[in-house]
Structure 1
């Protein structure tokens, strides 16, 4: 359990009482740490949050790759102009 300072109205895990800044993070925590004690609605919330997290990670990886490719070709073109 991490020691965090969260507002009083922050979503809390019903199993361990840990506070989370968003419902999505709480659903991910409950699914990863307390999966066996979840009901069907909580498991559905976890699966939705997990899928959304995967989509966000995939999007981030594509954007990071695009930035790296742009930097690479930017430096390559700069080198080609300066070295000539």
Structure 2
């Protein structure tokens, strides 16, 4: 996989980094996702479980975001429709 190069500023240390490729990450959950996507064949069983857990959490967050975005679009649509009905 091709990744965008990431660099850590000189005076800061990364929160964590990948044991397999050395890529730095700001949070442990992002590292778990990276290991599962890029190194699934070589990671341990506990790392696979962490990956599956993070993947499920991310799917839940994405579903919540989509529902909120849909709700906002519906409110915007009916708000504009109501304004058109009033002012036209």
Tell me if 1:38 matches 2:43.
yes
Between structures 1 and 2, the one with greater helix share: 1
Equivalent residue, structure 2, for 1:27 = 32
Matched residue, 2:4? 2
Structure in which a larger fraction of residues adopt strand = 2
Instruction: Summarize the alignment of residues 4-83 of structure 1 with structure 2, pairs less than 5 Å apart.
Output: 4-6=6-8, 7-83=12-88
| Aligned-partner Cα distance in 2 for 1:10–1:52 | 20
2: distance between equivalents of 1:80 and 1:9? 55
Which residues of structure 2 form unaligned runs of 5+?
none
- Asked if structure 1 preserves the Cα contact closer than 8 Å seen for 2:32 and 2:50, the reply is yes
Matched residues in 2 for 1:48 and 1:11: separation?
18
**1:47-79 residue CA offsets vs partner (Å, 9 max, x unmatched):** 000000000000000000000000000000000
Report the CA distance between 1:31 and its aligned residue: 0.0
Normalised to the residue count of structure 1, the TM-score between the two structures is 0.93
RMSD of aligned alpha carbons: 1.0
What TM-score, normalized by structure 2, do the two folds share? Answer: 0.89
